[in-house]
Amino acid sequence: MTMQAILASAALLTVVSSARTTRADVRAQFRGEAVFSVYRGAPTFGEGTSLTATQLREYEHFRIADIGIPPTLGANVGLDVVFDDRYIVPLLGLGGGLPLGKHAPVRTSVDGSMVEVRPSSAYVFAFDLIGFGVRMKERRWMFAATFRTSVVLAGMNARVSVGREADDVALFAASPALRTDVEACRRLNPDERICLFVAPKLYEHHWLGGVSLGLRWEYGS
């Protein structure tokens, strides 16, 4: 009877030890980054908004699809969850960018009205949603590849002319986005890393919408 009790206790300890060993290691990771972005093609400004009229006249469809976003410089912050020191699940993120340098106004037309678009007034906001990635470590180095989803808002100012009169309008465009993020990091201490990353925009307003690259700081082991 005593031997059976000893064996049962040993079996219980083995099960408990195994459960502790197989328990997932879940940790939070914070990131902040400075990012330079270039964009391919042009969003359709005005689509999906209530911008169908100015003080001068009404428009059945006020859409501008031939003016691109100039290169931007911005900053992003975000929160990720890391499982077993290998799998990355981006949870939330927020970022924005403004144009680099000055850009000459671009003239186009909408439904017979002349429109002067001002690319220097452009801005981009991104709200990062959930994603998935993997990472690996080699001594003080770490490498990771991640797919990230987000919602991107872009806008700029324009001036609409009808005859001798003119009216200022704000243009908007929104799009779901999907990008892949590849980074190489150097560990500064057990909790901090500095990284270089490149992030092709697989979809942003349209397929292959551009690319971002920059410098990232990460906090989390």
**CATH number of the domain bearing residue 148:** 2.40.160.20
* 28-37, 44-53, 75-84, range with the lowest pLDDT: 44-53
Q: Other CB atoms closer than 10 Å to residue 199's CB: what's the count?
A: 20
Instruction: Look at residue 192 and tell me if it is in a domain.
Output: yes
| pLDDT confidence of residue 65 | 72
Residues, the chain? 221
Instruction: Look at residue 125 and tell me if it is in a domain.
Output: yes
Instruction: Look at residue 44 and tell me if it is in a domain.
Output: yes
Residue 175 structural domain: 25-219
Instruction: Look at residue 13 and tell me if it is in a domain.
Output: no
Determine contact, residues 203/41, Cβ cutoff 8 Å.
Answer: no
| pLDDT confidence of residue 90 | 94
Instruction: Look at residue 112 and tell me if it is in a domain.
Output: yes
Strand partners, 72: 37, 99
Residues 29, 193: Cα–Cα separation, whole Å: 11
Q: What is the overall mean pLDDT for the chain?
A: 84
Please state whether beta strands 165-187 and 207-219 pair in parallel, antiparallel, or not at all (unpaired): unpaired
| Residue 102 backbone phi and psi in degrees, to 5 | -100, 145
Instruction: Tell me how many domains the chain contains.
Output: 1
Burial of 26 (0-12, 13-18, 19+ CB in 10 A): exposed
Instruction: Look at residue 17 and tell me if it is in a domain.
Output: no
* 106-120, 145-159, 206-220, range with the lowest pLDDT: 106-120
As a whole-number percent, the residues of the chain with pLDDT over 70 amount to: 82
Strand partners, 57: none
Question: Has this prediction a pTM greater than 0.85?
Answer: no
Express each pLDDT in 55-81 by its tens digit: 555 665 667 777 889 999 999 999 999
Instruction: Look at residue 2 and tell me if it is in a domain.
Output: no
Express each pLDDT in 127-183 by its tens digit: 999 999 999 998 899 999 999 999 999 999 888 887 777 788 888 899 999 999 999
Q: Which of 124, 87, 121 is nearest to 105 (CA)?
A: 121
Instruction: Look at residue 3 and tell me if it is in a domain.
Output: no
| pLDDT confidence of residue 59 | 63
Q: Residue range 90-114: average pLDDT? A: 88
